[in-house]
Amino acid sequence: MLRKRSPLVICGAFTFVAWNVVLVFVLMKRPSSPGTVDNQLEPNDVQQKPVGGKLDNIINEVLRVADAFEAELESQKKILLQIQNHWSVWENKDGTQETKPKATAANNAVPVVIPILVIACNRVTVKRCLDKLIEHRPSAELYPIIVSQDCGHQETSDVIGSYGSQLTHIKQPDLSDIAVPSQHKKFQGYYKISRHYRWALNQIFNSFSYSTVVVVEDDLEVAPDFFEYFRALHPMLKSDPTLWCVSAWNDNGREGFVDPGKSNLLYRTDFFPGLGWMLTKDLWVELEPKWPASFWDDWMRHPDQRRDRSCIRPEISRTLTFGRKGVSLGQFYDKYLRFIKLNSEFVPFTKMDLSYLDKNTYDESFEKEVYAAPLITVEDIKSGKLSGPGPFRVQYSSPDSFKMLARNIGIMDDLKSGVPRAGYRGVVSFLSRGKRVYVAPPAGWSHYDPNWS
């Protein structure tokens, strides 16, 4: 968020500048002091005074004035610093005021610009996506919105263009069909989406020269703290080599499956969630040369791309999809996605300690909590006979047993390269009737089996 300076600080700064302008003007116009060469000599006596003596006096006077001027500047500087230290404040989002911490190199640094890339095609309902982005955006300068449109759909183009200078509208120039294998003719749309992503991300990182981007699609609505969430996690994504993305999405974030009292809770996940996600230019430099012709999101979930890296995801999603119609023909939408809970309260993530997400710290705590939880059965969950506050653990040992458990519980049952949706170290977390449950492999888990799919 951009913070507004206190009017008192602005006034103090203005007074400081004005005072010194007046001071310079007075000193420049000031007549020589008594006792100087010009005051002692009559005009007719000028030739009688040695030139060297007059020059020395002039130099001495200039030095004296300069010393006085420097001392006055130093005095004014101290006054201004005192004003800043005692009265420097900023306004929070809710309008309350807090004392500003003492200035450091970190909080004096220029904040990074995090653009939002909206991938659009032929949905005029992109308006819902853009309206929410603009409504919740705290700064147009720090979060420029770039809408990349494919498909050449004029009505959608008109909707995007109606926002004028509030966003930048770019258009993917190649609208031709793509030659695909005969068995993939019905998947032409997936090939075009992959082509569009590649072009759009190249625009962001190579043409616009941004170092980071958050990607959303035209059928996503964002939460009030969407921008705050990504701002807070940006430093971690940049510095932690075990992370490769930050996602706003929880695949199992259905109403009743998440804890509404823990909207500030974040997780590490081995599953690439997408649906509102942040990546860096460094990652794009790695991925772009081998970017796939189609099915880019499943390609991202392959071990060759993931390389044992994780993403950060929230307990409660910061995006909500409203696009039932698309190339996936509503796959999962009616059964899962339309029930996803969108966070509604603002969480000040940038003011929170997120060090618990550090891999070593997180892994130790996560494993202890999961495997210290008592084992239960699917029948226990379905009957609601869970005694105690939890957490609890239900175990699987094969892809079939995982899918059976997931279908009976109501969480998403598909595996991609062996990784369950929202899973970390094979474990999926969800809430059942207000109690935390972990769907977990046996203790001693070491790696995913890509053949589990």
CB atoms within 10 A of CB 423: 24
Point out the residues that are catalytic: 297
413 Cβ neighbours under 8 A, 6+ residues apart: 402, 403, 406, 407
CB 315 within 8 A of CB 211: no
Backbone angles phi, psi at 269, to 5 degrees: -140, 145
CB atoms within 10 A of CB 209: 8
CB 223 within 8 A of CB 347: no
Q: And the tokens for 224?
A: 């009030």
Own/partner contacts of 390-395, CB < 8 Å, gap of 24 or more, are 390/435, 390/436, 390/437, 391/435, 391/436, 391/437, 391/438, 392/435, 392/436, 392/437, 392/438, 393/437, 393/438, 393/440, 394/437, 394/438, 394/439, 394/440, 395/439, 395/440, 395/441, 395/442
Distance between CA 26 and CA 257 in Å, rounded?
73
CB atoms within 10 A of CB 393: 20
The alpha-carbon radius of gyration of the chain (Å, integer) is 31
